[in-house]
Amino acid sequence: MEHVTKKFLRYVKIHTTSDPSKQTTPSTTEQFNLATLLANELNVLGMKNVKVDKHAYVTATLPSNTSEKIPTIGFIAHMDTSPDFSGKDVNPQIINKYNGSEIILNKTENIVLHPNNFPELLNYKGQDIICTDGTTLLGADDKAGIAEIMCAMEYLINNPKIKHGDIKICFTPDEEIGRGADLFDIETFNADFAYTIDGGEIGELEYENFNAAMASITINGLNVHPGYAKNKMLNSMSIACELNSLIPPSEVPEHTKGYEGFYHLIEIQGNVEKTELKYIIRDFDEINYGKRKEKISQIVNIIQNKYPNAKIELNLIDQYFNMHHKIKPVMHIIDLAKKAMEQAQVKPLIKPIRGGTDGARLSFMGLPTPNIFAGGHNFHGRYEFIPIQSMEKAVEVIINIIILTTTKASNNN
């Protein structure tokens, strides 16, 4: 069986950065390059019903090899990398038997991965670490998940004595820009439940995520020559600064953690005449989430009342919701993943996702889909790294989930 590392290194070389400014799916045609490669590999492996659709979704089935009735499990990962940092010309390097010291990513540019800044490195002393050359992200998010799923499928095909039901896989485009589930065909996928292999450090198991909204605020001011502007000019940028000052200063990402929600100003553009602000609003608790949306509306009303001649427009849109509501009735799939980790001698780390996941949207679409670790750290930047041993454990966990599902079904039949 080809080692998971070899698969991973092949996939990260393919440029698949998504682009939020494009409205097509996929947002970048380069994602088809990886989709086509994966489809070819799936066919060579012997997977069935291998397809790449016109939107670059890759799907395949490993058919059941038993007459017993066993739940159909799905495994999902995404092909795109984040537009937050360059994903082109990725040049990974392997640090064998990491000794706990700093890792020089790029000597010429003095880019260093240091345990003083990233103490989690020390958890992997003695292991083999794949990192970047300091000029790009690595792409472990989520090409590690793809490699792990591919490796698990290859293992099952090469070991037909391991009984299993139908296994469905899907590799999606544009997850990093929030569109990975947009055109996911739940009905055709036809799984009873699924897992995204898209988490971070080894052991992560996540079935709670933020409720999420986007608030776009447009402030229309009035531009007058500054020499004659008294009691006339309405500087939309100054009004925008005043509006932002009403956001609770302790309720922003840099001051929150765990289950704490936040408001986050992600973009501001403007001039005297017109300024646009974009906020994302996040909270795990449904009631608090509603209060946050009310708060942003109240702030806009306060500023509008203070400046009645400045037209202020708020566009507030829900983006996704906490999957916990959909996972709670099927908690056996969480117990299944926990047991699969424990059998692989991995300690389950159950914690909320301080972000979103395709699994959240898929869960609300009717496919319960919690998230399992892929093994990487420091996603979306030059300091991204992944221990090889974490990838190996992810493969083992996927296989264990499948075996445990078969065993449980056999005992119930």
- CA separation, residue 351 to residues 5, 205, 370 (Å): 27, 7, 12
Q: 108 burial class (0-12, 13-18, 19+ CB within 10 angstroms)?
A: exposed
227 with 313, same domain? Answer: yes
Q: Is 80 among the catalytic positions?
A: yes
Q: Is 273 among the catalytic positions?
A: no
Last-in-domain residue among 320, 342, 358: 320
174 with 254, same domain? Answer: no
Q: What does the pLDDT read at residue 133?
A: 96
315 with 348, same domain? Answer: no
**Torsion angle, alpha carbons of 223, 227, 228, 229, to 10:** 40
* Residue (of 71, 76, 85, 117) closest to 17 by Cα position: 85
3-state secondary structure of 255: helix
126 with 254, same domain? Answer: no
Q: What does the pLDDT read at residue 357?
A: 80
342 with 228, same domain? Answer: no
Distance CA 197, CA 204 (A): 10
Mark out the alpha helices in 258-323 (DSSP H runs): 286-306
Last-in-domain residue among 290, 305, 320: 320
Q: What is the pTM of this model?
A: 0.89
- CA separation, residue 369 to residues 90, 135, 146, 316, 366 (Å): 30, 34, 16, 27, 9
3-state secondary structure of 370: coil
Per-residue pLDDT tens, the chain, 413 aa: give them.
Answer: 689 999 999 999 999 999 999 999 999 999 999 999 999 999 999 999 999 999 999 999 999 999 999 999 999 999 999 999 999 999 999 999 999 999 999 999 999 999 999 999 999 999 999 999 999 999 999 999 999 999 999 999 999 999 999 999 999 999 999 899 999 999 999 999 999 999 999 999 999 999 999 999 999 999 999 999 999 999 999 999 999 999 999 999 999 999 999 999 999 999 999 999 999 999 999 999 999 999 999 999 999 999 999 999 999 999 889 999 999 999 999 999 999 999 999 999 998 988 778 899 999 999 999 999 999 999 999 999 999 999 999 999 999 999 999 999 888 86
Strands 167-172 and 73-78: parallel
74 with 122, same domain? Answer: yes
202 with 65, same domain? Answer: yes
Identify the CATH number of the domain in which residue 296 sits. 3.30.70.360
Domain enclosing residue 227, as ranges: 217-320
* Active-site residue (options: 80, 141, 206, 384): 80
* Active-site residue (options: 141, 175, 251, 392): 175
Are 282 and 211 contacting, i.e. CB atoms less than 8 angstroms apart? Answer: yes
Q: What does the pLDDT read at residue 1?
A: 65
Domain count, the chain: 2
3-state secondary structure of 221: coil
Which tokens belong to 200? Answer: 């971070």
Angle 295-302-355 (CA atoms, 0-180°, nearest 5)? Answer: 25
230 with 309, same domain? Answer: yes
Using the structure block, give the residue that is written with the tokens 């292999």. 197
56 with 201, same domain? Answer: yes
CA atoms within 13 A on the CB side of 5: 16
Which sign does the torsion angle of CA 130, 136, 141, 146 carry? negative
E strand segments, 292-401 = 311-320, 349-350, 371-373, 385-387
Last-in-domain residue among 261, 289, 320: 320
- CA 147 to chain CA centroid, nearest Å: 16
Angle 119-125-376 (CA atoms, 0-180°, nearest 5)? Answer: 65
Q: What is the b/e burial string over 271-295, where b = at least 16 CB atoms within 10 angstroms of the residue's CB?
A: ebebbbbebbbbbbeeeebeebbeb
168 with 254, same domain? Answer: no
3-state secondary structure of 90: coil
190 with 168, same domain? Answer: yes
299 with 171, same domain? Answer: no
Q: What does the pLDDT read at residue 412?
A: 80
Identify the CATH number of the domain in which residue 346 sits. 3.40.630.10
- CA separation, residue 200 to residues 7, 52, 203, 364, 381 (Å): 19, 27, 8, 23, 14
Distance CA 177, CA 18 (A): 7
Q: What does the pLDDT read at residue 353?
A: 87
